[in-house]
């Protein structure tokens, strides 16, 4: 849907955090995928690209994505191809994005053949796939960013095709509030967002607000898994004002999951932005300014260990990677805190990867 207000618009506080995560991830993504042992080409594509600029003059995500490539020293002289595909259905955004790209990159930084940039106007559901076709993106890795206003109108067919394309990944902005608020008015088309499954509508029978959000995220995750993404990561960006935005990431590569987590945890925390693990029922922010908050992980570890007897620390590290927003590296410090409080015991003097732990 075209933007309701003026273009460009004011940048919301959590947009900065989102952009820093994109940038941190792209700083890892380009060099890995385009390494000597990697692929001959990759495509960065956005289905809801925006105008490339905010009211205060700061860069939008399309510009950030190109800057990340150009500022990757390992790729300075590369002969590999990087395609950029940007789609938006608001003609003002398309025009401004074109202007902004020319203003920011007045001299073509790379020959067209090595860096084609395409800007297309139209709804993501109709224009995204043909735009990818036109630049020859399929059968090589695609990082697809679907940063709508949170209603994620992305056809299931497209998500499935991306999941099956080599080394391709998706980042989707998801706002459960949109679906909670409008559940009775949203047509059958909206079932398409959840993989043509109407079970998300049961959200109206759930009385509790945070359980509603968790339920819808769960439905969205199920759709991505069904489409073929093996590893999923979702987290909630929380601003000082208490606004929230969910980012959902799907990949088929463990390394992609590790690098996305690393990016989330790297992002500067002293900006009043926190992250929450949607699976933490206490909805506690993960950062208290500078220190990672391990309490949600400690609670999840206690639940994981309950009734499970003893578990090897390495298995808990794997579990943290695949089933929480925490990194593997957070597990030993969290277990150490639990042991210091007498809640966990260990078969070794130090809690290390090969050790066995259990609840006291």
Ligand X SMILES: C[S@@+](CC[C@H](N)C(=O)[O-])C[C@H]1O[C@@H](n2cnc3c(N)ncnc32)[C@H](O)[C@@H]1O
**Tokens read off for 279:** 């699976």
With residues binned 3-state (H G I as helix, E B as strand, rest as coil), the percentages for the chain, rounded to 5, are 45, 20, 40
- Residue 1 lies near ligand X (rule: CB under 6 A): yes
Q: Of 143-182, which residues contact ligand X (CB under 6 A)?
A: 147-149, 153
Contact map string, positions 230 to 269, toward ligand X, x by CB under 6 A: ----------------------------------------
Q: What 8-state DSSP symbol labels residue 59?
A: B
Query: Which member of 16, 89, 100, 169 binds ligand X (CB under 6 A)?
Result: 89
Q: Residues in contact with ligand X, total (CB under 6 A)?
A: 21
Contact map string, positions 57 to 86, toward ligand X, x by CB under 6 A: ---xx-------------------------
* CB distance 247 to 171 below 8 Å: yes
By CB under 6 A, which span of 41-49, 135-143, 194-202, 263-271 interacts with ligand X? 41-49
Strand stretches in 89-134, DSSP E: 117-121
**Cα-to-chain-centroid distance, residue 41:** 22
Query: Which member of 8, 50, 176, 256 binds ligand X (CB under 6 A)?
Result: 50
* CB distance 165 to 138 below 8 Å: yes
Contact map string, positions 10 to 39, toward ligand X, x by CB under 6 A: ------------------------------
**For residues 21 and 28, what is the distance between their CA atoms, to the nearest angstrom?**
11
Q: In the complex, what is the shortest distance from the CB of residue 93 to ligand X, in angstroms, rounded to a whole number?
A: 4
* CB distance 119 to 31 below 8 Å: no
Query: Which member of 93, 137, 232, 267 binds ligand X (CB under 6 A)?
Result: 93
**For residues 90 and 6, what is the distance between their CA atoms, to the nearest angstrom?**
11
Q: In the complex, what is the shortest distance from the CB of residue 186 to ligand X, in angstroms, rounded to a whole number?
A: 14
Strand partners, 358: 345
Q: Which is nearer to ligand X, 145 or 214 (CB)?
A: 145
Q: Which is nearer to ligand X, 243 or 352 (CB)?
A: 243
* CB distance 217 to 177 below 8 Å: no
Query: Which member of 21, 34, 124, 142 binds ligand X (CB under 6 A)?
Result: 124
Check residue 10 and give left, alpha or beta (phi > 0: left; psi -120 to 50: alpha): beta
Q: Of 273-332, which residues contact ligand X (CB under 6 A)?
A: none
Q: Which is nearer to ligand X, 53 or 300 (CB)?
A: 53
**For residues 272 and 281, what is the distance between their CA atoms, to the nearest angstrom?**
22
Q: Which is nearer to ligand X, 82 or 173 (CB)?
A: 173
CA 231, 174, 303: angle at the middle one, nearest 5? 55
Q: In the complex, what is the shortest distance from the CB of residue 212 to ligand X, in angstroms, rounded to a whole number?
A: 23
CB proximity list for 244: less than 8 A, separation 6 or greater: 14, 236, 237, 238, 276
Q: Which is nearer to ligand X, 5 or 307 (CB)?
A: 5
Q: Which is nearer to ligand X, 23 or 261 (CB)?
A: 23
Place of tokens 């790729």: 75
Query: Which member of 21, 23, 30, 90 binds ligand X (CB under 6 A)?
Result: 90
Interface residues with ligand X (CB under 6 A) are: 1-3, 46-50, 60-61, 87-90, 93, 123-124, 147-149, 153
């Amino acid at each position: 849907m075209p933007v309701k207000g003026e273009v460009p618009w004011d940048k919301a506080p959590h947009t900065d955090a989102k952009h820093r995560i994109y940038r941190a991830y792209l700083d890892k993504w380009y060099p890995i995928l385009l390494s000597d042992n990697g692929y001959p080409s990759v495509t960065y594509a956005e289905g809801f690209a925006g105008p490339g600029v905010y009211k205060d003059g700061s860069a939008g995500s399309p510009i950030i994505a190109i800057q990340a490539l150009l500022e990757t020293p390992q790729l300075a002289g590369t002969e590999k191809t990087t395609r950029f595909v940007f789609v938006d259905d608001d003609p003002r955004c398309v025009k401004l994005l074109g202007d902004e790209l020319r203003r920011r990159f007045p001299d073509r930084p790379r020959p067209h053949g090595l860096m084609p940039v395409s800007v297309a106007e139209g709804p993501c559901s109709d224009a995204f796939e043909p735009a990818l076709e036109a630049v020859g993106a399929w059968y090589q890795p695609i990082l697809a960013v679907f940063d709508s206003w949170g209603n994620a109108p992305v056809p299931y067919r497209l998500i499935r095709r991306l999941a099956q394309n080599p080394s391709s990944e998706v980042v989707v902005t998801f706002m459960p509030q949109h679906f909670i608020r409008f559940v009775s008015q949203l047509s059958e088309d909206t079932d398409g967002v959840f993989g043509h499954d109407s079970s998300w509508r049961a959200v109206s029978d759930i009385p509790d607000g945070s359980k509603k959000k968790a339920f819808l995220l769960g439905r969205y995750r199920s759709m991505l898994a069904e489409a073929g993404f093996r590893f999923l990561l979702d987290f909630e960006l929380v601003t000082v004002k208490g606004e929230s935005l969910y980012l959902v990431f799907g990949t088929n590569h463990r390394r992609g999951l590790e690098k996305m987590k690393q990016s989330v945890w790297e992002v500067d925390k002293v900006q009043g932005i926190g992250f929450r693990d949607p699976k933490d029922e206490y909805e506690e922010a993960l950062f208290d300014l500078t220190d990672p908050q391990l309490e949600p992980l400690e609670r999840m570890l206690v639940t994981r260990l309950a009734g499970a007897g003893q578990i090897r620390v390495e298995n808990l590290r794997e579990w943290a990677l695949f089933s929480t927003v925490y990194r593997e590296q957070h597990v030993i410090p969290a277990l150490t805190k639990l042991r210091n409080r007498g809640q966990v015991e260990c078969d070794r003097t130090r809690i290390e990867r090969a050790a066995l732990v259990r609840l006291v």
